[in-house]
Each structure stands twice: as structure tokens, then as C-alpha cells.
Amino acid sequence: MARFSKWDVTDAIRETGLVPVFYHPQKETAENAVKACYRAGVRIFEFTNRGDFAHEVFEHLERFMEQECPGMILGAGSVTDPATAALFVQMGAAFIVGPNFNPEVARLCNRRLIPYIPGCATATEVGNAQEAGCEICKIFPASEIGGPSFIKSLKAPMPRSLFLVTGGVEPREENLREWFKAGATCVGMGSALFTKELLIANDWSGITRLCKISLEAIAGIRSTI
């Protein structure tokens, strides 16, 4: 059973403004990635279902975070079907993220009071997801479907919509300003945060630094828009 309520998750996403997105088959590497983000002040983390036995790493990470990173919220990403969603929810996922919108996943998550953040690329998909009870929609792949101007265009007729933007987000003030000024509620970062170079070098302090830069930039940007 998830340690956090759906309201805890939604509040954390809105307040933090940053969701690190990560996958690795090795449990120790996943632990180090979480700790690096936690030290920077990140309190919500998405571990993606990108490889064989990803659920086993996720289960280990959920138990690890409960002991070593109190207050950190863990969710499962790259979930496309209800069976997979049910598996991760059973293992403690506090939220489910998908690259697409699946009504059956929405139905399952609603029953469990677990936030479902589906990937949407059109106003119709956003509308359908919202009708199915999704409070936050993931705009994906954001950089490929119009970038910040697309977010701004969506917010005009749908001003109350909450968007988690992923794809093309970078840990730079200039880049982050474009997304938040356009109307993003939160941004998700994967390879731009967990760069290949930093992972190869086991430079976890470097990842902490990028998280801090991002969080400070987001806080500053929000104070001016």
C-alpha cells in the first residue's frame, strides 16, 4: 500500500516543480540516484518500467526510500497497461505515469486513489484524460510537439489544466523559464539530469548539483511569473 495519499503526490508535484525520471537495472545505482536527488531537496521521484525485472528494482527502491529517504515519494513510469499498473501499485507506487493515455489504467488508479499521469499530445487527449479523473497530464514528447508554445496554446482554452512537461527539458535557467512561463506546472527530467558522463563516473554529487540548480531556478522563475 502506498505510503502517501493522492493529495500528497499532487501537492509535491506542484510545490517541487521537478520530477527526476530514472531507470537502471542495478539496485545500488538506483539507490545512489535517489539519494543524489534527495540531498538536493527533491521529494518526488519516478522510476521507469524500462527493462526486464524493473518491478524488482522498484520494490527494492520503495523499501530503501522508506528507511533512507523519509518523505520522498516514489512513482512508476512508462506504464502502458492496467496489469502493469496494478503490479506497481501493489509494490507501493504512489503514482503512475504513462507515455500514453489508457482509460483502463485510469479506472484502476481511480479505484485505488492513486494519481495517474498519462502522456498526452493533443487537446483532445488532455480532455479525455481529465474526464477520466486525471488531475495532472504529462505533455510528451513536449519538445517534439511544439515546445513551450504548445503548452501556452493549450493553457489558453484550458487554463485550469495542470501539466507535467517531459521531453526537451534541461537543467538550465533559460530552458526552465521557457517551460514555466508557458504554463508548465512541473517538469520531468531524465537523461539531461542523469547524464551518461555522470553515471559512468559515479559522480552522484554532480547529479545533486544539477538538481539544486534546477530547484533554485524553478523557485526563482515562479516568483517572477
For 139, residues 6+ apart whose C-beta sits below 8 A from its C-beta are 119, 120, 121, 145, 150, 151, 154, 163, 164, 165, 166, 167, 184
For 7-41, what is each residue's pLDDT tens digit? 999 999 999 999 999 999 999 999 999 999 999 99
pLDDT confidence bin for 199, thresholds 50/70/90: very high
Is 208 contained in some domain? yes
| Prediction pTM value | 0.97
Is 17 contained in some domain? yes
CA Rg value for the chain:
16
Range of the domain at 22: 6-222
Check: CB of residue 158 under 8 Å from CB of residue 126: yes
- Alpha-carbon distance 66 to 82, whole Å? 25
Region of 92 (left: φ > 0; alpha: ψ -120 to 50; beta: rest) is left
Is 86 contained in some domain? yes
Check: CB of residue 159 under 8 Å from CB of residue 182: no
What does the pLDDT average to over 192-221? Answer: 98
Q: Domain containing 195 — which CATH number?
A: 3.20.20.70
Is 65 contained in some domain? yes
For 35, residues 6+ apart whose C-beta sits below 8 A from its C-beta are 68, 69, 204
pLDDT at 1 over 90: no
Is 137 contained in some domain? yes
C-beta neighbour count of 125 within 10 angstroms: 16
Overall number of domains in the chain: 1
The strand pairing partners of 120, in sequence order, are 139
Is 1 contained in some domain? no
